[in-house]
């Protein structure tokens, strides 16, 4: 009986090991994957974009002043770009200082790989500020506003003189 049981066991084992399980598979047709790109560029101003030069004492009129605006704006661009700056008009109220009393500079450390132009005077004509910045998903710019010679502020009536400034990023 043991012999018969052994023969049956060997026969069942041979049958089990003799069959190979074959997995079934299927194949789809080709699938197209598209990445559709469009040129995209934007500028977002920082939380506190207003620039204030305060001349409250006699000593304030004695030398240059710089107001640094860290994280002044952020540029997102999928291609290299140039930055320009433009003043919206003369300082108001009328009779204020000339626009070019204020110069604008982007320090090289925050120029996003571009070439900054130093001491760009405010003007109603667009002026280059940074040339050939690299594409970026969020380049943060610091901007220095400077009045190097406050002499043209002398003899002006006490008031707040204002103008608007616009930054433009143009893809190359």
- Domain covering 41-49+60-171: architecture: Sandwich (2.60)
Looking at residue 116, its pLDDT comes to 98
What confidence tens digit (pLDDT) does each residue in 27-81 have? Answer: 999 999 999 999 999 999 999 999 999 999 999 999 999 999 999 999 999 999 9
Tell me the mean pLDDT in the region 83-89: 98
**Structure confidence at residue 23 (pLDDT):** 77
- Entry pTM: 0.82
Residue 9 has pLDDT above 70, yes or no: no
- Domain range summary for the chain, segments of one domain joined by +: 41-49+60-171
Mean pLDDT of 109-136: 97
What are 123-168's pLDDT values in tens digits? Answer: 999 999 999 999 999 999 999 999 999 999 999 999 999 999 999 9
pLDDT band at 12 (very low <50, low <70, confident <90, very high): low
Q: Report residue 53 as tokens.
A: 């030069």
Cα–Cα distance, 54 to 45 (Å, whole number)? 22
Residue 105: partners with Cβ closer than 8 Å, 6 or more residues away:
116, 117, 118, 119, 120, 143, 144, 146
């Amino acid at each position: 009986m043991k012999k018969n049981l052994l023969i049956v066991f060997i026969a069942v084992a041979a049958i089990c090991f003799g069959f190979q399980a074959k997995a079934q598979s299927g194949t789809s047709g080709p699938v197209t994957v598209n990445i559709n790109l469009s040129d995209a560029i934007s500028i977002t101003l920082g939380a506190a974009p207003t620039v204030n030069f305060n001349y409250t004492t006699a000593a304030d009129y004695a030398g240059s002043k710089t107001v640094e605006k860290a994280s002044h704006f952020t540029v997102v661009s999928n291609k290299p770009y140039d930055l320009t700056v433009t003043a919206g008009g003369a300082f108001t109220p009328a009779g204020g200082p000339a626009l070019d009393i204020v110069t604008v500079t982007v320090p090289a450390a925050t120029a996003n790989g571009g070439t900054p132009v130093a001491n760009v005077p405010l003007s109603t004509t667009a002026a280059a500020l940074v040339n050939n910045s690299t594409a970026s998903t969020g380049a943060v710019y610091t901007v220095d506003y400077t009045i190097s010679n406050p002499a043209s502020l002398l003899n002006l009536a006490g008031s707040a003189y204002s103008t608007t400034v616009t930054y433009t990023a143009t893809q190359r």
